[in-house]
Amino acid sequence: MIPLFQQRDFGNKINATFQYVSQNFRSLGLALLYIVGPVALLAGIMAGFMESYRLRLVSESVNARTDNPFAAFQVIEFFSSPVFWLTMLFGLLANVVVVLVTYAHMKVYERLKSPDVLVADVWAEVQPVIGRALVISLLGSIITAVGMCFLFIPGIYIAVVLSLALAVTSFEGTGFGETWERCFKLIRDKWWSTFGLIMVMALIMAIVGIIFAIPTASVAFLVRAKILPEASTAWAVIGKVIEQIGRTMLNAVVYLAIGFQYTNLVERQEGRGLISAIDSIGTSTQARDSNEGEY
């Protein structure tokens, strides 16, 4: 068993993340496949249609002999199309669901003290949180975007603080206001370590994720090289589905690391794991005394 609520330094949090993946690969993988898979599939299909449309514009631009005076309107049409916004919506939903599944798995794992976590148990934890998590994600994204627009550094600061938001609401059942306050309280004096952990894990997963981007990149290269003048929608969809599902599943590892940072910060400030360990010692001692009395 890997204790969740335990103080860990930077390296131990990374080690705990990969140990958790190794120990729970089957149960976590099944939960992601059954719960996140359908949403990621829809997001990938929508992204595929959007990629096909983008490649068609690229192909027309490459083959055009003169500059297109309406190119700016094509860009506006691209970003205002229903496919674009549906892709954004399903992408956001897939990201939120993978976060919730990851933290729900950690909660059930901690409760059972066993890696034998069932998909049904994970889904039971995810269902009540989906609506609240979507609201928190949307509001957090808006606040971060506003911070980025006015001044870049405050936007980054808020983004790192709110990286703990879905962990907080998943483990503690808080609304947006409580989650906001809780994130700032937990991350106090630990902003840089949280930022560093996210950057390292995101970099590792981005390198691994290149594998899933190869099909989409190959189609785009063939279009730009005029080897494939007309981009096939089917190939674009297949490439994007592979990329979307692969990257979505890899994101679970990043969120696991953030989950271990959350439990580390809670333990440092509240000693929840230590209190639980003390309580369990008292319980086991009473049970042993009771059993010894029978002889």
Residue 290's pLDDT band (cuts 50, 70, 90): very low
Query: Is-contact 133 289, C-beta < 8 A?
Result: no
| Amino acid found at 40 | A
The total number of residues shown for the chain amounts to 295
Q: Which of 39, 181, 18 is nearest to 99 (CA)?
A: 39
Bigger pLDDT: 262 or 90? 262
**Does residue 176 register a pLDDT over 70?**
yes
How confident is the model at residue 276, as a pLDDT? 60
Share of the chain above pLDDT 90, in %: 44
Burial 71-83 (b: 16+ CB within 10 A, else e): eeeeeeeeeeeeb
Name the pTM for this structure.
0.81
Tally Cβ neighbours within 10 Å of residue 273. 18
Query: Is-contact 241 51, C-beta < 8 A?
Result: no
Residue 72's pLDDT band (cuts 50, 70, 90): very low
How confident is the model at residue 285, as a pLDDT? 46
Query: Residue 103 and residue 37: Cα distance in Å, rounded?
Result: 16
Q: pLDDT tens-digit profile of 100-143?
A: 999 999 999 999 888 889 999 999 999 999 999 999 998 988 88
Residue 80's pLDDT band (cuts 50, 70, 90): low
Domain map (residue ranges) of the chain: 25-282
Least confidently predicted of 113-127, 191-205, 218-232: 218-232
Query: Residue 46 and residue 53: Cα distance in Å, rounded?
Result: 11
Over the chain, what is the mean pLDDT?
82
Q: pLDDT tens-digit profile of 1-35?
A: 888 999 999 999 999 999 999 999 999 999 999 99
Least confidently predicted of 23-32, 244-253, 281-290: 281-290
Query: Residue 252 and residue 167: Cα distance in Å, rounded?
Result: 12
Max mean pLDDT among 44-58, 75-89, 227-241, 258-272 falls in: 258-272
Query: Residue 140 and residue 159: Cα distance in Å, rounded?
Result: 8
Residue in this structure with the two tokens 């003169």, named with its chain if needed = 66
* DSSP assignment of the chain: ---SS----HHHHHHHHHHHHHHTHHHHHHHIIIIIHHHHHHHHHHHHHHHHHHHHHHHHHHH-SS--TTHHHHHHHHHHSHHHHHHHHHHHHHHHHHHHHHHHHHHHHHHHTSS---HHHHHHHHGGGHHHHHHHHHHHHHHHHHHHHH-HHHHHHHHHHGGGHHHHHHHH---HHHHHHHHHHHHTT-HHHHHHHHHHHHHHHHHHHHHHHHHHHHHHHHHHTTSSSS--HHHHHHHHHHHHHHHHHHHHHHHHHHHHHHHHHHHHHH-HHHHHHHHHHHHHHHHHHHHHTT-
Torsion angle, alpha carbons of 119, 140, 197, 28, to 10:
10
